[in-house]
């Protein structure tokens, strides 16, 4: 008898839980071996992968997917070789499992420590990039976790062939194949079903647009690690090196405007606004950036578009920038508290006290001094890789790499102690 | 115009969020000063507190609360003095905020580290012990968090007078009084309303019976740190020191049977069952423990009550113990995987390899060798204090002390770096 979708997902989640038990204590050399087999197999089967991916792409084109989405969906020789590089890099990273940062002795002689262990089963929900399937599977494997992957429906054929290759590599390394499973359904319903598998799944990590993430957050029985959006600011202090400020603000806005760690609002101290803003705005306008300015900024450059209230909390994800001239740093900090998304905030200043105060007072997953917001990224910060950025404040705050896919358990060495 | 309950809770949650901003950067000496003022005020107003508590107790008695609940509700000179000691101990603990365990340098010269910061606003939901109000408020204050406290309705008057004293102490120390707020409602509806304050509250910590925790977990839009129940095992290995095993098992079951880290099932290796079980069972029976035995145990001691299937996953919280004789350690580990609650598991053995294997393979928040399960407790493990035990695997696994009421944010020191 045919299983319905719910029964299928329950069976997959059970298999994942079961595989997680075996994976939990897998030794590093086995996990790295599997990652190597994956890289080899993807490389040797790349023509087959590209052929199947072409099916997804042409179907998506027929369904009217926009250019950016089609671009993300398409696998080329280049994206495949970067997938393969990613696998080899993750294999080269140290194994996070088993780490004991320290132990301590209790007065009664109990020796107590924490050891790093996998989370168990991770549900990963993401949009149409099939290379993310391989990245996420590799990160989960290296951190000893089983993973259920629900990718975008447009990428289903690409994801399924990749899944087949990953499973074979796992089994070749004597690890449970079912610790990596792509949910073979294009129905949106499958997301909702996955979110109810709280008996088998330890944590959900969604990656995609704000709408997807809100849906996941509101319908999950399982804890969700996520950020809704990135409304990131650069505050140009009155003690800023204005050249540096211009470079940083330009990079933060223009280098890749469609991502969560791009700047959305620039805050400028009024004492340097007159010397800084005209040059900065010209550079932005030359790059096609539309500026939406507060009243005080308009006094300096009157022909800009006035900002509306809705611009301050907006994540434009585009060549659009809100600009506010502030009276002092408190103004800037209050603006960030009010409109920031706890994601990424940067100050440009040469003043030590101001830098220190900004670092302390800003509540965001990453706070930078004299650097572009674009650096809030697992790879750029030295975590080696990243499965997402978390602003929920639980578990990890900011980019999540291998360590953030683990937790610690207490281990206690006694010699017969009983509680009085 | 009178606010309805929902509006009241929104207003309180907003005040909490606002207070959290001020508390986030409060210096240690101010927080410790407030804790000292709290201790002094509780001591000097103890007669008033006891008088008001007597009202709660006599009302609860009229409403037919059972003896154990009445006992937990009652404040005496002794419980008040232990509350005061608790406040002074928390003041003496180091401030977790601001800790930077390490920084690293990226190839481009960015200096990156993580600094420990508060979570923000904590919603704490608990049952009828009014001393928990003071403990939780003190832990949240020291860790820089605002807290919304929803205690049991039986304790409402005691909680409100304590809240008044705590607020006054906060303000005396120039800290925001509204960072500690008891929800002044005895209606169960207020729990559901609090669980929907996801715009203002960062995390919910429920403490109480399994029913309360399931309700919270199923109705919360905010991440919940909790354990449902503690089904803890002691595995007596074939290489155990049988005297030590008897002491540990007796302590784990009998010292305080009503708590989550008490043993519920004893697993005994068949090779030592014949020499261990008869003496052990007699000691248990002399202490009034009812034994529910598996088939193999019955072969050794035929007059015990046979265990039913429902006894293996049961949290008895009483002088009842399930006993299973296992063929080998794999049997024991599989039993724990199947019926354990990821809470606390202990092995008694003299064999190094077995101890190591048990520590590695068991998935529980605390795994012990040769010690009683009763040690899985924040104070006993050296965390200084505890707000609860978490088995959700996110954020912290096991007892949560001051550090577990915080998270880390990335801080990044640049010299003008932009992303290529």
Convert the pLDDT of each residue in A257-308 to its tens digit: 999 999 999 999 999 999 999 999 999 999 999 999 999 999 999 999 999 9
Judging contacts by C-beta atoms under 8 Å, the chain B residues touching residue A399 are 410
CB of A410 within 8 Å of a chain B CB? The answer is: yes
Cα(A376)–Cα(A374) distance, rounded to whole angstroms? 6
**Most B-contacting residue of A99, A106, A110 (CB-CB within 10 A), to test interface:** A110
pLDDT at A340: 96
Q: Give A144's contacts (C-beta < 8 A, 6+ positions apart).
A: A23, A24, A25, A26, A31, A97, A117, A118, A406
- Chain B residues 29-58 with CB within 8 Å of chain A: none
pLDDT in tens, A361-409: 999 999 999 999 999 999 999 998 899 999 999 989 999 999 999 999 9
DSSP state string for A196-207: T-TTT--EEEEE
**B63 vs A159, B57, B68, B113, CA distance in Å?**
61, 10, 14, 55
Lowest model confidence (mean pLDDT) among A30-34, A271-275, B221-225, B312-316: B221-225
CB of A367 within 8 Å of a chain B CB? The answer is: yes
CA dihedral A367, A368, A373, A378 (to 10 degrees): -70
Q: Exposed (0-12), middle (13-18) or buried (19+): which is B46, by Cβ within 10 Å?
A: middle
Instruction: Answer whether B366's CB lies under 8 Å from A412's CB.
Output: yes
Which candidate, B365, B335, B358, places its Cα nearest to that of B239? B358
Cα(B190)–Cα(A9) distance, rounded to whole angstroms? 36
Q: Work out the end-to-end distance of chain A between its first and last CA atoms, rounded to an integer number of angstroms.
A: 58
| Minimum-distance CB partner of A371 among B252, B359, B417 | B417
Instruction: Answer whether A16's CB lies under 8 Å from A179's CB.
Output: yes
| Minimum-distance CB partner of B248 among A381, A394, A416 | A416
Cα(A169)–Cα(B112) distance, rounded to whole angstroms? 36
Chain B nearest-CA distance from A375, in A, is 7
Over range A157-172, report the average pLDDT: 97
pLDDT at B208: 87
Cα(B132)–Cα(B75) distance, rounded to whole angstroms? 11
Over range B369-389, report the average pLDDT: 93
Which two tokens mark B49?
């507190």
**Most A-contacting residue of B359, B366, B419, B420 (CB-CB within 10 A), to test interface:** B419
A81: left (phi over 0), alpha (psi -120 to 50) or beta: alpha
In the DSSP assignment, the letter for residue B405 is: G
A78: in domain: yes
pLDDT at B297: 98
| Minimum-distance CB partner of B409 among A21, A104, A365 | A365
What rounded mean pLDDT belongs to chain B?
A: 95
- Chain A residues 187-216 with CB within 8 Å of chain B: 202-203
pLDDT > 90 in chain B, percent: 91
In the DSSP assignment, the letter for residue B200 is: T
Answer yes or no: do B23 and B102 share one domain. yes
Q: Is the pLDDT of residue B142 over 90?
A: yes
Q: Is the pLDDT of residue B36 over 90?
A: yes
Answer yes or no: do A89 and A160 share one domain. yes
CATH number reported for the structural domain that contains residue A167 in this entry: 3.40.605.10
Cα(B145)–Cα(B180) distance, rounded to whole angstroms? 9
Instruction: Answer whether B338's CB lies under 8 Å from B363's CB.
Output: no
Q: Give A420's contacts (C-beta < 8 A, 6+ positions apart).
A: none
Over range B368-387, report the average pLDDT: 93
Q: What confidence tier does B188 reach under pLDDT thresholds 50, 70, 90? A: confident
Beta bridge partners of A322: A265, A292
CB of B369 within 8 Å of a chain A CB? The answer is: yes
CB of A357 within 8 Å of a chain B CB? The answer is: no
CB of B367 within 8 Å of a chain A CB? The answer is: yes
CB of A219 within 8 Å of a chain B CB? The answer is: no
Cα(B55)–Cα(B300) distance, rounded to whole angstroms? 54
- A394/B119 touch (CB, cutoff 8 Å), yes or no: yes
CATH number reported for the structural domain that contains residue A285 in this entry: 3.40.309.10
Taking CA atoms, what residue in A is nearest to B368?
A412
Answer yes or no: do A181 and A252 share one domain. no
Chain B nearest-CA distance from A348, in A, is 8
Q: Give A384's contacts (C-beta < 8 A, 6+ positions apart).
A: A89, A90, A93, A378, A401, A402
Cα(A288)–Cα(A300) distance, rounded to whole angstroms? 20
Contacts 24+ apart (CB under 8 A), A62-67: A63/A154, A65/A128, A65/A154
Q: Is the pLDDT of residue A69 over 90?
A: no
What rounded mean pLDDT belongs to chain A?
A: 95
Instruction: Answer whether B145's CB lies under 8 Å from B184's CB.
Output: no
pLDDT at A198: 92
Chain A nearest-CA distance from B279, in A, is 18
Q: Is the pLDDT of residue B110 over 70?
A: yes
CB of B224 within 8 Å of a chain A CB? The answer is: yes
Answer yes or no: do A219 and A237 share one domain. no
Over range B36-62, report the average pLDDT: 97
Instruction: Answer whether A147's CB lies under 8 Å from A180's CB.
Output: yes
Cα(A84)–Cα(A135) distance, rounded to whole angstroms? 9
CB of B148 within 8 Å of a chain A CB? The answer is: no
Over range B3-22, report the average pLDDT: 94
pLDDT at B193: 95
Over range A230-255, report the average pLDDT: 98
Instruction: Answer whether B343's CB lies under 8 Å from B365's CB.
Output: yes
Instruction: Answer whether B207's CB lies under 8 Å from B72's CB.
Output: no
Helix residue spans in B173-241 (DSSP H): 189-194, 210-219
Which two tokens mark A211?
């709408």
Taking CA atoms, what residue in B is nearest to A411?
B367
DSSP state string for B280-340: HHHHHHHTTPEEEE-HHHHHHSTTSEEPPGGGTT----SSEEEEEEESSHHHHHHHHHHH-
Chain B nearest-CA distance from A23, in A, is 11
CB of A395 within 8 Å of a chain B CB? The answer is: yes
Cα(B209)–Cα(B207) distance, rounded to whole angstroms? 7
Beta bridge partners of A366: A344, B410
> Which of A206, A226, A246 lies at the terminal end of a domain, its last residue?
A226
CB of A299 within 8 Å of a chain B CB? The answer is: no
CB of A417 within 8 Å of a chain B CB? The answer is: yes
Q: Give A91's contacts (C-beta < 8 A, 6+ positions apart).
A: A31, A32, A35, A36, A39, A142
**Most A-contacting residue of B22, B95, B205, B393 (CB-CB within 10 A), to test interface:** B393
> Which of A226, A241, A263 lies at the terminal end of a domain, its last residue?
A226
Answer yes or no: do B211 and B236 share one domain. no
- B410/A221 touch (CB, cutoff 8 Å), yes or no: no
Neighbouring CB atoms inside 10 A of B122's CB total: 26
Which candidate, A409, A408, A403, places its Cα nearest to that of A139? A403
pLDDT at B185: 85
Q: Is the pLDDT of residue B1 over 70?
A: no
B385: in domain: no
Answer yes or no: do A177 and A263 share one domain. no
Instruction: Answer whether B104's CB lies under 8 Å from B112's CB.
Output: yes
- A120/B414 touch (CB, cutoff 8 Å), yes or no: no
pLDDT in tens, B190-202: 999 999 999 999 9
Which candidate, B135, B136, B142, places its Cα nearest to that of B92? B142
Q: Is the pLDDT of residue A9 over 70?
A: yes
Judging contacts by C-beta atoms under 8 Å, the chain B residues touching residue A376 are 410
Cα(A199)–Cα(A182) distance, rounded to whole angstroms? 19
Answer yes or no: do B249 and B133 share one domain. no
Which two tokens mark A413?
């060495």
Judging contacts by C-beta atoms under 8 Å, the chain A residues touching residue B397 are 117, 407-410
Instruction: Answer whether B36's CB lies under 8 Å from B91's CB.
Output: yes
Which two tokens mark B355?
């101890």
- Chain B residues 54-83 with CB within 8 Å of chain A: none
- The domain tally of chain A equals 2
- A221/B218 touch (CB, cutoff 8 Å), yes or no: yes
Q: Is the pLDDT of residue B172 over 60?
A: yes
Answer yes or no: do A150 and A39 share one domain. yes
- B25/A395 touch (CB, cutoff 8 Å), yes or no: no
In the DSSP assignment, the letter for residue A311 is: G
Q: What confidence tier does B372 reach under pLDDT thresholds 50, 70, 90? A: very high
Answer yes or no: do B104 and B204 share one domain. yes
Over range B12-32, report the average pLDDT: 96
A401: in domain: no
CB of A382 within 8 Å of a chain B CB? The answer is: yes
Answer yes or no: do A248 and A211 share one domain. no
CB of B10 within 8 Å of a chain A CB? The answer is: no
Cα(A104)–Cα(A106) distance, rounded to whole angstroms? 7
- A395/B398 touch (CB, cutoff 8 Å), yes or no: no
Cα(B285)–Cα(A386) distance, rounded to whole angstroms? 55
Taking CA atoms, what residue in A is nearest to B413?
A369
Is the whole model's pTM more than 0.90, yes or no?
yes
A16: in domain: yes
A410: in domain: no
Range of the domain at B210: 5-226+396-413
Q: What confidence tier does A330 reach under pLDDT thresholds 50, 70, 90? A: very high
Q: Is the pLDDT of residue A73 over 70?
A: yes
Instruction: Answer whether A211's CB lies under 8 Å from A325's CB.
Output: no
CB of A275 within 8 Å of a chain B CB? The answer is: no
Q: Is the pLDDT of residue A1 over 60?
A: no
* Contact pairs from chain A to chain B, CB under 8 Å: 213
Neighbouring CB atoms inside 10 A of A339's CB total: 17
B57: in domain: yes
Answer yes or no: do A12 and A149 share one domain. yes
- Chain A residues 117-136 with CB within 8 Å of chain B: 117, 119-120
Neighbouring CB atoms inside 10 A of B43's CB total: 14
A398: in domain: no
Cα(A300)–Cα(A243) distance, rounded to whole angstroms? 19
Answer yes or no: do B109 and B240 share one domain. no
Across B43-163, the runs of DSSP E, i.e. the strands, are 103-105, 111-118, 121-126, 146-150
B389: in domain: no
Q: Exposed (0-12), middle (13-18) or buried (19+): which is A140, by Cβ within 10 Å?
A: buried
């Amino acid at each position: 008898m045919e299983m319905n979708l719910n029964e299928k997902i329950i069976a997959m989640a059970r298999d994942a839980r079961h595989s997680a038990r075996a994976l939990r204590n897998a030794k590093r050399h086995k996990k790295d071996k599997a990652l190597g087999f994956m890289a080899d197999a993807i490389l040797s089967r790349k023509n087959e992968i590209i052929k199947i991916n072409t099916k997804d792409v042409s179907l998506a084109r027929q369904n009217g997917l926009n250019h950016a989405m089609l671009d993300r969906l398409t696998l080329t020789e280049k994206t495949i070789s970067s997938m393969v590089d990613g696998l080899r890099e993750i294999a080269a990273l140290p194994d996070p499992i088993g780490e004991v940062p320290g132990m301590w002795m209790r007065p009664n002689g109990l020796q107590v420590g924490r050891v790093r262990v996998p989370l168990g089963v991770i549900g990963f929900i993401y949009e149409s990039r099939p290379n993310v399937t391989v990245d996420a599977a590799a990160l989960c494997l290296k951190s000893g976790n089983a993973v259920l992957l629900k990718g975008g429906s447009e990428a289903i054929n690409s994801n399924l062939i990749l899944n087949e290759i990953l499973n074979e590599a796992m089994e070749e390394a004597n690890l449970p194949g079912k610790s990596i499973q792509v949910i073979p359904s294009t129905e949106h319903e499958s997301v909702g079903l996955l979110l109810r598998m709280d008996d088998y799944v330890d944590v959900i990590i969604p990656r995609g647009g704000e709408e997807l993430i809100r849906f996941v957050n509101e319908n999950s029985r399982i804890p969700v690690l996520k950020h809704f959006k990135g409304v990131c600011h650069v505050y140009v202090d009155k003690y800023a090196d204005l050249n540096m400020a211009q470079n940083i603000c330009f990079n933060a806005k223009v280098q890749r405007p469609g991502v969560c760690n791009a700047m959305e609002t620039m805050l400028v101290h009024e004492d340097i606004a007159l010397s800084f803003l005209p040059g900065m705005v010209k550079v932005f306008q030359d790059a096609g950036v539309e500026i939406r300015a507060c009243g005080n900024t308009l006094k300096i450059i009157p022909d800009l578009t006035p900002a509306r209230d809705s611009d301050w909390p907006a994540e434009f994800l585009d060549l659009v920038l809100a600009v506010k001239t502030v009276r002092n740093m408190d103004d800037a900090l209050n603006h960030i508290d009010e409109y920031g998304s706890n994601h990424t905030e940067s100050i440009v200043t040469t003043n030590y006290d101001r830098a220190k105060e900004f670092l302390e007072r800003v509540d965001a997953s990453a706070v930078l001094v004299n650097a572009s917001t674009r650096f809030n990224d697992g790879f750029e910060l030295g975590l080696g890789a990243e499965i997402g950025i978390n602003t929920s404040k639980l578990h990890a705050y900011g980019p999540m790499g291998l360590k953030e896919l683990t937790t610690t358990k207490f281990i206690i060495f006694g010699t017969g102690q009983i509680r009085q």
